[in-house]
Structure 1
Amino acid sequence: MSPVTRGFSCPVTHILPGPVIMTRGGKPRRGIFPPPAAAARRGCMAIRLWFLIGFIAAPFCLPAPTCQASDGLVFSMPANLEAEEVKRLSGKITEGVLGLKRDAAVNQRERLVVVVDFNPEGLPCRQADWEACLKLSRVLLSLDPSDVLTVGHIRGEVSRFAVLPAFSCEELVFSRQGFLGAVSDTADELDANDRARFEETARRRSRPPVIARRLIDKGTVVVRDPAAKAGEDPFRDGRVFAGGEKVIEADIAGAIDQEMALKLGLCVPEPIDTAEALLARYHLPRDLVQRTSHGGESLLGAAQIQLLGQLSGGLAEKLSRDLRRAEAMRPGLVVVNLEAHGVDVAGAIDLANLLVRSRSGDIDDIKPLKLVGYLGPQARDLALLPALACGQIAAHDKVDISFEDFLSQNADQRESLVTHLKSLLVEQRWFDAAQADALSRALTDPQSELLLARPPGGMPRLVSGEGLERGWKADRILKPKGTWLRLPASLLRDPLRLASPGGATLEIWYAEQGIPVGEVRVLSNSGIDELAYFLGHRGTTMFLVTIGLACLMIEILKPGLAFPGIISAVCFVLVFWANSRISGQVDWLAILLFILGILLLLVEIFLIPGFGVVGLSGLALMAGGLGLAVYGHWPQTGGEWIGFGRVLAPFGFCLLGAIGLVAAFMRNLRHIPFAKHLLLHGNKLAEDDSDGSAIVNQDLYLALLGKQGQTTTPLRPAGKALIDGDPVDVVSDGRYVEVGTPVVVIQVEGNRVVVRAV
């Protein structure tokens, strides 16, 4: 039986004399009622009985109607299949089957048709997630064939693990350009169980298992067995079967196109190139195509991207990643949930530009997306910019957009904000240039007046107080002079018409759009995003800086512990990474300044006696680099320098806290188990351990002041000298001292012993 007649068309009967009853196999046999006898004797009674029997048996005698599905599902295979989408597909199929049984109980042969479009818009389908493809295969194979007909539409390349769900479909329909490609490049990529799964799937769908083997191992030779019986699989593996006609040679291109698939009995006879033609063939309503997104129906009503907290350029990486994740799901629309406020205009504009490009398809590997910017109750100031870039806006009832607080702290960014705001309003076709200019000025300048005025015989327009022409009628004063313009949800909806009506909450807005909340996939932050948000919090940053400074001081005062130095390095790396990840304004200058400051501080400690310009410069550079990382950019105006100082001031408390931690550590050092064995005891200056590190005894080092000794290594200016029979790490007074030179101790500072040649 061909793939077409198998499971979709009902057998056709032939009318024989007398009533006919259908057998299960579709073959007719004579009815239980014999032809009338002795019509002349029975007369009218026989005729009446004959008509009665014929009336009763008519439904069984006539050809059975073709089984048709009144509705179906179209599953558009995403570029990267996820297990969640398979789960949703399974739920939709269950709902569809129950709906057909409820609404079409009179026709028990009617089946739900599930079309799996492997190549939306003809794109290659090369699935690499084995688990997701395996789950989809199991779903397709588990369906009751009396309830569901699964159809795989192959309009391009279907390769890698996507071959498994393709073989799991009850019927395969190829286009002229469609073909099945190799599952793997090497035969050993899949284990024996996985390879057997491909063959078993083909066998369950009455397809030759050797074809699945061939797609996995290109060394397989496919031959036709001339002795195969009718209805038996005629294809064999030529490596173990002698004789027969070779159908596919070994080590040649393993692709199976429509012509070869038909020869192998894999697909229906007619090639179908378009989704509309496929729906017509299976008697599905044409509006299934109109309900699709990107060429296939999406199981997901909407994907929701979360932009929370501070809007800055650092979020561009996350937004780009989320847009790609959303596009792979092929939703009807993508909602950008804006519960955010601005830090700087440039960062918000970076996000807005990314959203504009995603709508037009100018981002690599992302098709044009339909975006909706939702202004949540926590949305403020710069959140309006990415919302305008989405092309469609919805707003929570409690939203209230105003630039008063932002511009009060960032007055220098006013002109940049006006320019970009006007550009978005014009380029995204919200308003013409004149209205965009009036609205932009009113949002950013409290001395600007905004009116809703009507020209003679025209529609109401936004104009500034100075731009009101003679003959125009002012319908409404939206903002008088001397006040900041605030945009609540009511004003955004009417008269500005920036936001669509309704949408008191996001859930209500979804319902108004006909999108069940269960159909919305919220793209939550990844673990890296959550870590960056946590570390980027001001309190967390201050804590890391305090611990980092304390450990750095301990390492300097007690060299050799190593552990505090490692902790310090990790803390500062996390501070720089998290704050640059969040603010997006830190460049290599901040990092280089901080590293240079540390190097200068180390030079001051170990190479140059005393603590002077070099050490102070190192501390200043460290503070400057840290301030740049946290503040976000280099201050240029007096106001920005004040803001820079405000950001840097809390780290003074970090320094005080670090000093307190160091004092507590030094006081309790002898009671710390891991450090006790590193302390000096008795009359030794240093007690060596296995790795050569030592903790110095301050009192014994002070006793060296004025004593003489002899260098055992050159001093450049650091080295070693033998003083009172004990080896001591020393530093010269700035001159080069050769080995064996007599020296005298002239200064002791902490663990630094300064000597001078005698």
Structure 2
Amino acid sequence: MWLVAEPETERSLSLARKQTMHVGFPLGALAALVCTCWAWCWMSNQLQAQPERESGAYLVVRSPLTSEAVNQLRNEIEHHISLGTRKFIVHFQPGPPSSLGVARDLANYLFREIRGRANIHAYADKPLTGHLILPFLAAEYRWLGPEGSLGRIAVGQEAPLSKADRAIYEEIARGRGLYLAVVLRLIYQPLSVYQVVENGMRSYKIEDTPLARQLEIPPDLLIGAGEGGQLVLAGGEGASVISAEQAAREFRLISGKVNSLEELVDQLHLERAILLGSVAINPDSKVAWIVVSNDLDTGTVSTLRRKWERALQNHNVGCVVFEIGASGNARAAQEVEHLIQDIQRDQAKVLTVAYIPKRASGAATYLAFACREVVLCKSAELGDLQPIRGSGRRALSELELEPYVRSLRELTRYHGGEALADALFDPNLELVRVRAKKEVRGAGATYVLRREEAERRRAEFDILDKPFRLMTITGQQARALGVSRFVLPDEASREAVLDLFGLKRENLIEMRSDWLDELVNIIAHPVTTVFLFILGFTCLLLEFKTGGIGLPAVIAAVCFLLIFWAHSWLAREVNSLAILLFLLGLALLLVELFVLPGMVVAGFSGVLLVICSVALLLVQHWPQSTEEYFNLAKYLGMLGGGLVAAIVLAFLIGRHLPSVPLLKGLVLPPPEPVSPTETTAVPVQEYQQYLGAVGIATTALRPAGKARFGDIQLDVIAEGQYLEAGTRVRVVQVEGSRIVVEALPPATSS
């Protein structure tokens, strides 16, 4: 959607129209139209006037350095250079000490071999110590963050460098125009450094001491006592490090101090997206193409994750393109977080591209901004977040929206700035484009800021155009706002996207959904899950009416197996809990049926836990918004209704199944009616007289049934097993009206 002009512009145009009314309606209308067109064209030209940023590379060097890491860095830089990259940011991250030999190899490469072919900008945001300082100084440009500093080179118990070993430091200091005395002070902490001004020229020298002569410091760098000079770096074991301020202003060891890595990227006029990971793509690399056309939900996001994983398993894939034409609500945005974490973890392995030919909204916006490159067609739209904000009674409050806004800020900081995320969530928020003034760091860099922030920082920025509002980001606006470097015609093909990155059409691999993905998505759908739950629970109830393990048990097992398999395939966070709840519920049901029949608490708890376990699979986490509470109530209602349907269905099948000729074997027929003399009721207090009595089972005991003792037939329960009709049994326990029997061997007599 086009940018919305500031209300003040509309008011000024209205005033212009009123002033021309005396000329006549046609002339006044024409003047107003001309003013409107002029204002609109001026603002559009200003938006299009943003100077293009360069595509550089961002690489990381971690201590301790190893030969393998140095070779890998060398290969990556050379490959980027072969593809036309000229600016590199090499981020030095301190750690355990590095050996001088490996540090010398990297320093020689940065100092000698790179010269003239690329610009290397070394950056450190933490204190550097040890020989990691050597390749840092060897870079053509050096930058420190606010917490960055240069400390002792010889750390721990390491012996002082010999004259031969420090030769590489001296060569780099002279070659990069650094003060040699200051560099030697980094190597030998006990030395003191004095500032000397001669003929208006500032220089630094080392105090002439026996230690300095023992270390063979060049005589022209020594200054004796009483020769003047100002002490700037005192020597000794407690000697201080060189801060970023000192390194930049006093000692010229670095090119400058920056407040953040993003500020350095802006100052070098590089795309912020390089901080997502710089990947040197071989033109012959395979390209995995993933189409995101269906609205995002748990199933589709999990399918995307599996496609992503399959793409990375192909070692020849150097680029993954997400062709996005989907939306998704707040729940889907939470699911996309897991996919984004996978993408960010593997950004250094492959180039990720979000290609938006028409429209990407809602949760799909997060996926687009998570990619290294964003490519839009001219009329494409990105960023309509209404599906996440919700509407009516399902609208999220500001507090509920905050996590979503925060997540999008983290992504847009590499594609246009954090203010874009705020504006997409708040259509009434006004933004302005600004340019850093010449007297501040990052001079000439352009940004998109909130209007009030831009007004507050007028001393730092020049405002480039009128304030505007965002509903969505179109392809025409994407480049001006720093969201994308590339905008394609509306009729662009896949080949046009590949051409942007020098890739070949014949190397394209479309990642399609296989039959397993489709099966999982079907089973994991809430309607299918509830249907399988009804069928499984019905068969489970029927199995309790049959002896042994029959067809209902098999069907029930398959139904629940499919439910848990499909959902565990989709999400791994809470399924172990759901499975444990289901097993516990099933165990309580077995206790109710076989161990302590008549205990309502065990049976009710078992049924409740089984329902909760399936509900947990559907919901996946405790609700955090109004919509999620509504979904939880909906799922619980569906499962409750499913349970009622299962009980009714089991009752009807149990009642009518015996009359069906082909299926009557599944359910045992009811026992033959006995004569009144055989079913005479016995008072409960007289049941104790049957303890130890021997009788015959007149029905199958599963485990409950009937047995005859003399002329009396009683209800009994078999102990620990199923017994066939006609089995000789003996009463082993009597508790009230509950009579427990055990089977007797055929040879046993009463």
Higher relative contact order (CA 8 A, sep 6+): 2
TM-score, scaled relative to structure 2: 0.48
